[in-house]
Structure 1
Amino acid sequence: MLNYKIKIKAFDGYILNLSVIKIINYISKQNIKVIGPITLPTKKKIYTILRSPHVHKKSREQFKLFIHKRFLVVYNVKKILKPIDLPSGVKLEIKKC
């Protein structure tokens, strides 16, 4: 019996939630116990760029990038999980425990 920890990341929270539902439905069809989704803290990156390359130092523009994360724990898997088709922009990390 294998146990897996699945970490899912995406830039868009809505697409991430749809992907998590798709993964849970796939796993529940195989009668496997799943704990989650557990919402992990959203990471926010802010990039500041000067608008004018020469004189106007105070004129700046900021861009924000949010990384949403979810966590699933899958218990008592008899066989290895096959890859699931997910939308672009969703990263899936699977670890055995």
Structure 2
Amino acid sequence: MPAEATETKKKAAAKPAGAKSAPRVRKAAAPVAVQRLRIKVKAYEHKVLDASIKQILDTALRYDAKVAGPIPLPTEIKKYTVNRSTFVYKDAREQFEMRIHKRVIDILDPSPKVIEALTNLSLPSGVTIDVKMA
């Protein structure tokens, strides 16, 4: 019995009072990296923007790509205030605004054929495209 008592005292001395054992941490499987093509499209006219979005979607769906979107983003409005007269009459002012319409399209796991078809796509002038691989 004295030998058992000394063993329990050694175990108690090794751990400070109230200390808990470290929790077991299970390593999760590494997440599979999904390749994504994010296309941001901007234009001043929403009709031209919608037509070019339709053209991009038709091209992507022709090659059986998984598409998320088009997601409309907030319209950016830039306002400019200008005096109507050259010298006096500060109260007479005119306001102009420019609206920039934006959309986002995500193409999940794009094949090389889809990427090539999108690069060869000709869109109308006035449409800005920003493509990012993620």
Could you say which TM-score interval applies, normalised by the shorter chain? over 0.9
The answer to whether the 8 Å contact 2:65/2:111 transfers is no
Q: State the aligned residue count.
A: 97
Aligned to 1:55: 88
Moved more, 83-92 or 6-15: 83-92
TM (normalized to structure 2)?
0.69
Counterpart residue identity of residue 63, structure 1? F
Percent identity of paired positions between Structure 1 and Structure 2: 38
Aligned to 2:49: 16
Which has the larger helix fraction? 2
Q: Which has the higher contact order (CA 8 A, sep 6+)?
A: 1
1:78 deviates by 2.4
Give the distance between the partners of 2:60 and 2:73, measured in 1 at CA: 21
Higher gyration radius (CA): 2
Counterpart residue identity of residue 44, structure 1? I
Counterpart residue identity of residue 27, structure 1? A
Give the unaligned 5+ runs of structure 1. none
Counterpart residue identity of residue 24, structure 1? L
- Residue 53 of structure 1 aligns to a residue whose secondary structure is coil
Give the unaligned 5+ runs of structure 2. 1-33
TM (normalized to structure 1)?
0.93
After TM superposition, where is structure 1 displaced by more than 6 Å over at least 4 residues in a row? none
